[in-house]
Structure 1
């Protein structure tokens, strides 16, 4: 039976897009409902406002959902705002959309109102779209990179403490045992990197994109290394330098506020890049690895720790939600692309390791921290920002679990002109 144009309710329109039926209960502000009864539904999704409808219609997919959710126009009962992981698992496994015919699409649009095709202003937590970021400079220019880092990292050091824990480490941990805590796993990660880089007393380490100085502090404290860290976040640099002084490590460790490309020193025994290349841009990998190679002494090692794509079939740019709300201009590549770029620019790759499952565990721990410290977190950031963090961390956990993205260590060495690598016959760092 054909329904006359203009007769669909919001719930009917949404249901028409579902291939296998509504996997949750849906309730709209026009009074329409669809899906299981409340006592049988795993979740109840409520669309509360016309603005929320306009968000969904003008940006179908994750961006529209995020806008409506962050703004409070769409709510989900039975879901922790700090940790919506179970909702995402359910949606991934149960939600199947179908593409409407042109006639059906016209009917849906007319029923819901053509006026809702005018995009409302996005929530204040949203960053500019890519085409408007030219005011900040060309993609991955120094100015634009600095603004992207500022958007994500210069939120509140206290907020990060509540989410990340005492280590203030915003990268994948390495869990040495099933029962290890997040703090134990972060220490194990830094120690593993130190061993892969063969750090010893008196060595010099450059840590680019150093965050709150976790690797710098570990290298100086545990191995007597003279360590220099560089970050584009002023808040990170100030926090890290204060921590260095508090621990009495000022003679060994330093964290600078600035661009890694401004580091003029050379002759480092090791370089670590832990979670920075995601911000560099794939087309800039050659320049990136060339610069870092030139900072090393002959025989020096470099370790790149980064999120990777599952394969090359996916574009490097992040999805709309991640790009607008989390990591503007972020790009990911398959591990093979990173290996090739390192090899092609003077760093012989000697070891590659995947620690994908460890990042899923790390994100789970961060979500649990946010959930446990929710009220305190809301004293540091807006409710919208806290919602963004819950969505992004829970969604990322699921993506790592499903193998949609990975985490790889790639270890390279700068050989001499005759190919000598000053490298042991077998790895010496264990697990």
Structure 2
């Protein structure tokens, strides 16, 4: 087979500059190197190895428009979620293998102006006119001001609704019985997802030095996994979530498990919790939603809710450095976590230290554990694919398969990480009463 670099489709090639190009040729010319995947398109054209394990199949003219009007991950996601682009060789419930192969090929080059002009002529002007995206897509950032300023209470409530109020039934199939939508901690490689989620709660409970009779505030509590774990061990717990469906599910689980005297989950913004004097605060998967600029206010809020000697455990997805802009990419921002922001663990630690009165005593990275967690969530979705499609529609189900498999690759490649940061509230002389060495069972 003729390779890309040897073909007339290379950026400066005469045929690419002057002859009408097929859709597969356009793909090949833009991807900037030898293909390891197979590309096929509705115009009958193809490119790449015929025996490739995975491929891309562009099925419709609408898909071409999505790809042209939103180059990069957003256009690919739109076409895939709408069903106009297929990952050949992979099930949409778990497209991990195909995404890994595709990621190896996605090194988009910038063709010469002549090639770009020929691509435009070959496609036709109609494909450069934007069309409505799939209904699962959130508004772009600049159009969200109708919902309030970024990270205002009203806008935070709307973006949390966008992601979390999909369907409790759907989440039960994907997350499993624990209904835990945060990174698990696997005690060994062969551990089940349920064992790993139980182990995560056990680890956080021990890090926070909780004991019967203590008071815990769980901010962004989701379906109440940490709330119920602590309450079963005699801790009095308040959980807060902006998702109405999460709060309803969690409150019913509290009743069903006989924990009403100890536990409560509120449908509220964490900023509306007025109680103080907590022995511990757990923030498991919320910091990603509050905005980097709001870290100081967030950590001050937590500090002011703790008693002297109280503990904070912050569990958060992070970047591997502290340099990049905190905002998520287009696909994540439009389809997964609108207004979400990530930064490095160093910035989280420094912002926590800078507010005064809090001492960071430990941090650790669970990057590999999150890749394993996403693997198991994809497996659950695959096993319940038909039910999931019936419950939320094929587009939403495809979105979730794509998002989880893509994030798994991100954790595996150290594009994103997951960190625990443990801190304590000091007394007015800078003292604490902690043991000299870590007190939990790792």
TM-score (norm 1): 0.97
Corresponding residue to 1:364 among 344, 353, 375: 375
Distance 1:105 1:379 in 2: 42
Query: C-alpha displacement at 1:10, in angstroms?
Result: 1.4
Deviates more, 1:8-17 or 1:123-132: 8-17
Distance 1:175 1:76 in 2: 30
Distance 1:5 1:93 in 2: 29
Aligned to 2:14, the other structure's residue is in SS state: coil
Aligned to 1:18: 31
Query: C-alpha displacement at 1:6, in angstroms?
Result: 5.9
Distance 1:72 1:13 in 2: 20
Query: C-alpha displacement at 1:315, in angstroms?
Result: 1.7
Deviates more, 1:196-205 or 1:21-30: 21-30
Distance 1:404 1:287 in 2: 27
Aligned to 2:253: 243
Distance 1:406 1:79 in 2: 26
Over residues 90-128 of structure 1, what are the superposed CA-to-partner deviations in whole Å (9 max), with x where a residue is unaligned?
122344332111221111112111221111100011111
Aligned to 1:426: 437
Whether the 8 Å contact between 1:207 and 1:227 is mirrored in structure 2 is yes
Distance 1:21 1:317 in 2: 32
Corresponding residue to 1:304 among 314, 319, 326: 314
Kindly report which structure 2 residues correspond to 1:177-196, keeping only aligned pairs within 5 A, or say none.
Answer: 177-196=188-207
Aligned to 1:220: 231
Query: C-alpha displacement at 1:76, in angstroms?
Result: 2.3
Distance 1:95 1:73 in 2: 19
Q: Please list every run of 5 or more consecutive structure 1 residues that lacks an aligned counterpart in the other structure.
A: none
Over residues 58-114 of structure 1, what are the superposed CA-to-partner deviations in whole Å (9 max), with x where a residue is unaligned?
111110001011111111221110111101111223443321112211111121112
Aligned to 2:271, the other structure's residue is in SS state: helix
- How many corresponding residue pairs? 428
Whether the 8 Å contact between 1:364 and 1:394 is mirrored in structure 2 is yes
Aligned to 2:392, the other structure's residue is in SS state: coil
Corresponding residue to 1:341 among 326, 332, 351: 351
Distance 1:6 1:77 in 2: 29
Query: C-alpha displacement at 1:5, in angstroms?
Result: 4.0
Query: C-alpha displacement at 1:206, in angstroms?
Result: 0.1
Aligned to 2:391, the other structure's residue is in SS state: coil
Corresponding residue to 1:404 among 405, 415, 421: 415
Aligned to 2:91: 80
Whether the 8 Å contact between 2:299 and 2:352 is mirrored in structure 1 is yes
Aligned to 1:379, the other structure's residue is in SS state: helix
Whether the 8 Å contact between 1:47 and 1:73 is mirrored in structure 2 is yes
Over residues 245-285 of structure 1, what are the superposed CA-to-partner deviations in whole Å (9 max), with x where a residue is unaligned?
11111000000000000000000000000000000000000
Aligned to 2:426: 415
Over residues 1-23 of structure 1, what are the superposed CA-to-partner deviations in whole Å (9 max), with x where a residue is unaligned?
62364611212211111322232
Over residues 300-342 of structure 1, what are the superposed CA-to-partner deviations in whole Å (9 max), with x where a residue is unaligned?
0111000000112322111111110110000001000000111
Whether the 8 Å contact between 2:31 and 2:105 is mirrored in structure 1 is no
Aligned to 1:307, the other structure's residue is in SS state: strand
Distance 1:314 1:79 in 2: 33
Runs of at least 4 residues of structure 1 off by over 4 A? none
Deviates more, 1:44-53 or 1:291-300: 44-53
Kindly report which structure 2 residues correspond to 1:59-208, keeping only aligned pairs within 5 A, or say none.
Answer: 59-208=70-219
Deviates more, 1:327-336 or 1:17-26: 17-26
Does 1:30 pair with 2:43? Answer: yes
